[in-house]
Amino acid sequence: MKKTVFTLLAGAALLTACQPTDKRARMDITLTEMQSDTLVIGSHAFSDLNNEKMKRDTLLPGQTTYTFVAETDSLPYQVFIASTKEMNRTVVAALLPGDRVTVTGSIKDYRVTGSELSEGIRQMQIISEPYRAKMDSLVPTMTREIYRNVYIPLWNQMDSVKADYVRQHPDDDLSLYILNDIRGDYFKELYPTLSDKVKNGPLAPIAQAFEEGMKRAKIFEENKKNIVEGTMAPDFTLKDINGEELTLSSLRGKYVVLDFWGSWCGWCIKGIPDMKKYYEKYKGKMEILGIDCRDTEEKWKAAVAKYELPWLHVRNEETPDVSLLYAVQGYPTKIVIDPEGKIAKIVVGESPAFYEYLDELFN
C-alpha cells in the first residue's frame, strides 16, 4: 500500500515538473482579414517608449489563426495589428506577463478577451471612433483652415473624453496608458492624481518615463536661460565619426556652426544642399559641426556617407546630452558660435535667415 502511495506521489511530482513554466504573454488572433489581406503585427516592450526596438511580423493571406508570443516573461508588451490595405484602423492590445488574450472579429470591429487592460483600451477606441471617423472624413479635402478650425478641435474633444476617464479612475492602469496617448497639458494636471499603485504597477515604464520627462523639462528650462545670443557657448566633448573625442573649445579661433540634425528629420535633409553650398563658400572662415540626434550609430554614419557631408560630425549619445545642454527645441537647429566661443546666432528650423546671416557676417 505504501509503495503504491509513494509511486503515485512520485508520478504526480513528475507531472508537475513537466508542466510548462513559460509565462510569456500570448495572443491568439483570428481575424476575418487574415483570409485575404496581408497583416502586419508590430510589438514592443512598454519600456521601449520610443519604439526603437519595434518588431514586425508579416502574415500572408490564407491563415486562419496566428499566435503572438511575447519575447520575455518579465515585461509588458504593446501589440498592434493592421491590414496593409487599410492602415488607418488598428487592433491595439497591452499584454502583461502571463496573459492569455484572444482577438476575434475584424480589424474594424474586433473583440478582445482575457486582458482587462486590453479590453479597456478597446472600449476607449470605441468611444473615440465617432471623432476618428469625422477626422478621417476631413483628410481628402484638408486645408490649413480645416485643420486648424475643425480637425484639431475634434481631436481636442476626443482627448477631453479620455481625460475625463482618467479623472474618474486614478487607480486604474488604463488611466496611465491613456495619459501616454493624449495630447496637450493633461499630463501636468492628471499624472499627479494617479495612485502609487498605478505608477508602480505593470505599466511602470510609462510612469518612469514621465518622471524622467519632468526632470528633463526642468533642466531644459534652466538651460534655456543660458542659451541666448551673447553668452558663452557651453563646452562639451563627444566622439566624432572616427571614434575620436572632439571638444567644442578646440575649434576656437573661427566661427563654428553647431548643426543639430538627424537622418529622420525631413527638413534637415532638405537643407543639406544649401548647407553644402555655404560650407564650400565660407569654409575658410567657418567650420560646421554636425551633431546627430536620435539616430543609431549605423543610421548616422550611413546618412553622412549617403549625402556626402564634408564637415565635422559627432553623435549626441546623451552622455552628455548636448541637445538638452543647448535647450534644442526643434530640428534642425543651427547655433553660430563666434571665434571667442560666444553664441552669435540661433536659428530654429530650415530658414533662409540662417544663410542671409552668414552672407552678412562674412561679406
pLDDT digits (tens, 9 = 90+) for 169-221: 999 999 999 998 887 788 889 999 999 999 999 999 889 888 888 888 899 99
- Answer yes or no: do 245 and 283 share one domain: yes
In a domain, 231, yes or no: no
Q: Is the pLDDT of residue 154 over 50?
A: yes
How confident is the model at residue 14, as a pLDDT?
39
The span from the first CA to the last CA of the chain, in angstroms, equals 106
- Answer yes or no: do 85 and 153 share one domain: no
- Answer yes or no: do 254 and 340 share one domain: yes
- The residue out of 223, 256, 276 marking a domain boundary is 223
Mean pLDDT of the 96-111 span: 94
Mean pLDDT of the 87-108 span: 91
Q: What is the mean pLDDT of the chain?
A: 89
In a domain, 212, yes or no: yes
d(CA 307, CA 292): 14
d(CA 335, CA 347): 6
In a domain, 257, yes or no: yes
Q: Is the pLDDT of residue 9 over 70?
A: no
In a domain, 120, yes or no: no
- Answer yes or no: do 275 and 178 share one domain: no
Which residue reads 475584424 in cell numbers?
106
How confident is the model at residue 235, as a pLDDT?
96
Q: Is the pLDDT of residue 12 over 50?
A: no
Split at pLDDT 50, 70, 90, the class of 4 is very low
Q: How many CB atoms are located within 10 Å of the residue 270 CB?
A: 11
How confident is the model at residue 187, as a pLDDT?
86
In a domain, 131, yes or no: no
- Answer yes or no: do 351 and 241 share one domain: yes
d(CA 276, CA 7): 82
d(CA 295, CA 52): 10
> What dihedral do alpha carbons 319, 191, 73, 115 form, nearest 10°?
-150
Instruction: Tell me the CATH number at 283.
Output: 3.40.30.10
In a domain, 128, yes or no: no
Cβ-contact 311, 282 below 8 angstroms = no
d(CA 152, CA 158): 10
- Answer yes or no: do 251 and 334 share one domain: yes
Mean pLDDT of the 325-353 span: 95
Domain holding 286, by residue range, is: 237-362
- Answer yes or no: do 266 and 332 share one domain: yes
DSSP per-residue letters across 15-47: HHHHS------EEEEEEGGGGTS-EEEEEEETT
Sign of the C-alpha dihedral computed for residues 281, 284, 285 and 290 taken in this order? positive
Split at pLDDT 50, 70, 90, the class of 2 is very low
Domain count, the chain: 3
Q: Smallest Cα–Cα separation from 150: which of 161, 160, 138?
A: 138
Q: Is the pLDDT of residue 6 over 50?
A: no
Q: Smallest Cα–Cα separation from 128: which of 80, 94, 164, 96?
A: 164
Backbone angles phi and psi of 171, in degrees to 5: -110, 20
Mean pLDDT of the 260-289 span: 95
- Answer yes or no: do 253 and 195 share one domain: no
- Answer yes or no: do 153 and 195 share one domain: yes
Give percent above pLDDT 70 in the chain: 93
- The residue out of 223, 251, 281 marking a domain boundary is 223
Instruction: Tell me the CATH number at 90.
Output: 2.60.40
Q: Is the pLDDT of residue 152 over 50?
A: yes
In a domain, 134, yes or no: no
- Answer yes or no: do 210 and 241 share one domain: no
Split at pLDDT 50, 70, 90, the class of 21 is low
Order of strands, edge to edge, in the sheet holding 86-95?
Answer: 55-59, 39-45, 77-83, 86-95
- Answer yes or no: do 275 and 331 share one domain: yes
Task: Say what the pTM is.
Answer: 0.68
- The residue out of 175, 194, 223 marking a domain boundary is 223
In a domain, 135, yes or no: no
- Answer yes or no: do 151 and 56 share one domain: no
